[in-house]
Structure 1
Amino acid sequence: MPQDDPHHHDPRQLAPATQRNREPILAVLREVLPAQGQVLEVASGSGEHAVHFAAAFPGLVFQPSDPDPAALASIDAWTRDSGLSNLRPAIRLDATTPRWLVTEADAILCINMIHISPWAATEGLIRHAAELLPTGGPLYLYGPYRQSDVPLVPSNAVFDDSLRRRNPKWGLRELEAVAELARDGGFGEPEVTAMPANNLSVVFRKR
């Protein structure tokens, strides 16, 4: 069906936050990602991040994923639109499941998932990342966190409250709890970078 058909449904989703955070995230990823290999993105959402990063790192192959069928359609539509050859078709992946369809990854990205999912998703992410990543391979996390030694800013407190009202299993996680889970899973200490809008970039490297 032609794109200009008024009845044509464009599956591409737009995430306004992506426009604001993709360049700050990219600046961190330039210091974190390997020069070549495969990057698995967990919870790719609209797919806009995957397209932006694949364009910036032509030496890497990006594998986007998401558990939501609408997100998968959006990712694949953005991928087709980009024309990038280093961006694979999206795969359905739920972080909580015992088996993933991915067998290898040199780096793993997970942006804005941990606070909008049950704790079991974080447990699954770290468990699978430990199985997939090589020694020194990075697990990159982005989003808002609670930190025991840092007062929660009002905007994050309001956001946390709204998340918990939507789903009691959601909410901002304690960075220390995530770091402890990663440590127990075979990762080193977190490399934390403060980001705009009171978010953090958190990198764990496989020991």
Structure 2
Amino acid sequence: MDKPTAPSCARNRGPILAVLQPLLQDARSVLEIGSGTGQHAVHFAAAMPHLRWQTSERAQHLPGIGLWLEEAALHNTPAPMVLDVAEGPWPDGRFDAVFTANTLHIMGWPQVVALFEGVATVLAPGGVLAVYGPFNEGGRYTSPSNAEFDQWLKARDPHSAIRDVEQVDALARGCGMTLQADHAMPAHNRLRVWRR
């Protein structure tokens, strides 16, 4: 089996890391939801060796993540864990931070709700949730490319869609989290940070 690769990870990992490093300088443990290929985990864990970076994904993606982790052989990346946001199992422990990239627009809205509700059960008091990806504002696309991307998403899966920041912020508030920062990122993406 070859290691899975996502070209977008190579493009966005630098700008994401630039936001995460100061944000997570005092954190010790991070849960990554929807780790995908595992590329982000290896890059971020190598750059932030003080963190224990826990990857998670649906079961079918774990072998690919495992290949990236095995090759990197980092001391701070434990074995990936199975996590389906709607079905669990959510870990028993608490994390100083939760990170997820390019997931909210792939999931259906019930799964987005389940993600925030699950994060509320594993995020330590004062912990942060950092979400990277495209967002709409005021019910409108922020760029023509995002409009095109959203049409592609919906053609692929009618439950997928770029999410409105207002709806996501309301969901976060309902789960005990307050918006702390909204970072503009390349290619009309954002990195939004909530604190519990």
TM-score, normalized by length of structure 1?
0.90
Q: Is structure 2 residue 77 aligned with structure 1 residue 87?
A: yes
Give the root-mean-square deviation of aligned CA atoms. Answer: 1.5
CA distance in 2, matches of 1:132, 1:151: 32
AA matched with 1:119 = W
**TM alignment of 1:52-71, pairs within 5 A:** 52-69=43-60, 71=61
- Alignment check: 8 A CA contact 1:98 1:124 kept: no
After superposition, where does 1:175-186 map in structure 2 within 5 Å? 175-186=165-176
Query: Compared with structure 1, are the counterparts of its residues 68 and 99 closer, same or farther at alpha carbon in structure 2 (3 Å cutoff)?
Result: closer
Which amino acid in 2 is paired with 1:203?
Answer: V
Once residues 88 and 45 of structure 2 are traced to their aligned partners in structure 1, the CA distance between those partners, rounded to angstroms, is 28
Structure 1 match to 2:24:
33
Match in the other structure for 1:154: 144
Q: Map Cα deviations across residues 42-73 of structure 1 (whole Å, 9 max, x no partner).
A: 0000000000010011111011011141x211
Counterpart check, 1:45 vs 2:1: no
| In structure 1, distance between residues paired with 2:151 and 2:165 | 17
Alignment size in residue pairs: 196
Identity fraction in percent: 39
Taking the aligned partners of 1:81 and 1:166, their CA distance within structure 2 comes to: 33
Stretches of structure 1 lacking an aligned partner (at least 5 in a row): 1-8
Using the TM superposition, give the Cα deviation of residue 36 of structure 1 relative to its aligned residue in structure 2, in angstroms: 4.0
Match of 2:87, SS?
coil
CA–CA separation in structure 2 for the residues paired with 1:79 and 1:169: 31
Which structure has the larger Rg over C-alpha atoms?
Answer: 1
Amino acid aligned to 2:95: A
Tell whether the 8 Å contact from 2:45 to 2:51 is kept in structure 1 after alignment.
yes
SS where residue 124 of structure 2 aligns?
coil
1:188 counterpart (150, 170, 178): 178
TM-score (norm 2): 0.95
- Output the CA distance in 2 between the equivalents of 1:74 and 1:41: 15
- The aligned runs of 1:1-207 (5 Å cut-off) are 9-10=1-2, 12-69=3-60, 71-97=61-87, 99-148=89-138, 151-206=141-196
Q: Point out 4+ residue stretches in structure 1 off by more than 6 angstroms.
A: none
The worse-fitting range, judged by mean Cα deviation, of 33-42 and 55-64 is 33-42
- 1:98 and 1:18 mapped to 2: Cα distance? 25
State the one-letter code of the partner of 2:155: R
* Residues in 1 aligned to 2:127 and 2:117: alpha-carbon distance in whole angstroms: 14
